[in-house]
Homo-oligomer: A and B are copies of this chain.
Amino acid sequence: MASTELVFSSTAEHRAWLQTQAPLPRGFRVGTTTFDFTPEEVAMPARMTLTLIALDAPTDAFAAVFTRNAFPGAPVLIGRRRLAGARLGAFIINNKISNVCAPGGIEAAETVCAETARLLGLSPEEVLPSSTGVIGWKLPQQAMLAALPAAVGALSAGSALPAAEGIMTTDLYPKVRRATVGDGSIVGIAKGAGMIEPNMATMLAFLLTDLRIPRTDLRACLARVVARTFNRISVDSDTSTSDTVAIAASGRVPCHDLDAFEQALGTVCADLAEDVVRNGEGVRHVIRVRVDEAPDEAFAHALGKAVVNAPLFKCAVAGNDPNVGRLVQAIGKFLGATGSTVDVSRMRLSIGGETIFENGVFAIDPRKESRLQAHLLDAQLYASAEPQGGIFSPPIDFPPHERCVEVGITVGSGTAKATVIGADLTHEYVSENADYRS
Contacts and interface: CB of A to CB of B under 8 A. Distances in A.
A36 to B, nearest CB: 18
B366 A43 contact: yes
Given A136-B364, A430-B426, A437-B319, A333 B103 contact: no
A34 interface: no
Interface in A182-234: 194-195, 197, 199
A361 B102 contact: yes
A52 to B, nearest CB: 25
A11 interface: no
Nearest to A338: B70
Contacts of A240: 329
A236 B311 CA distance: 7
Contacts of A321: 434, 437-438
Copies in the complex: 2
Given A70-B331, A238-B311, A364 B41 contact: yes
A272 B311 CA distance: 23
B336 A236 contact: no
Interface centre among A362, A384, A386, A435 (most CB of B within 10 A): A362
Contact of A70 (B70, B136, B332, B424): B332
A434 to B, nearest CB: 4
A336 B387 contact: no
B430 A312 contact: no
Interface in A34-79: 40-43, 67-72
A57 B42 CA distance: 66
Interface in A371-418: 384, 386-387, 390, 392
Contact of A42 (B311, B369, B424, B427): B369
A197 to B, nearest CB: 8
B328 A101 contact: yes
Nearest to A326: B135
A337 B135 contact: no
A425 B194 CA distance: 15
Contact of A238 (B100, B324, B333, B437): B333
A310 B310 CA distance: 12
Nearest to A433: B315
B41 A369 contact: yes
The number of chain A residues touching the other chain, given as a range, is 35 or more
A123 interface: no
Contact of A311 (B237, B312, B344): B237
B237 A70 contact: no
Contacts of A328: 71, 100-101, 135-136, 241
A62 B336 CA distance: 25
A372 to B, nearest CB: 12
B430 A430 contact: yes
A329 B434 contact: no
A179 interface: no
22 contacts: A41-B366, A41-B369, A42-B366, A43-B366, A69-B333, A70-B334, A70-B335, A70-B336, A71-B331, A100-B325, A101-B361, A102-B362, A103-B361, A135-B328, A195-B329, A236-B312, A238-B310, A238-B312, A238-B333, A241-B325, A311-B433, A425-B434
Given A41-B365, A241-B325, 15 more contacts: A41-B369, A43-B366, A69-B333, A70-B340, A98-B325, A134-B325, A135-B329, A194-B312, A311-B429, A315-B429, A319-B436, A321-B434, A390-B427, A426-B430, A427-B427
Interface of A: 40-43, 67-72, 98, 100-103, 105, 134-136, 194-195, 197, 199, 236-241, 309-312, 315-316, 318-319, 321, 323-326, 328-337, 340, 344, 357, 360-362, 364-366, 369, 384, 386-387, 390, 392, 424-427, 429-431, 433-438
Report, nearest first, the 3 A-B pairs whose CB atoms are least far apart.
A135-B325, A70-B335, A71-B332
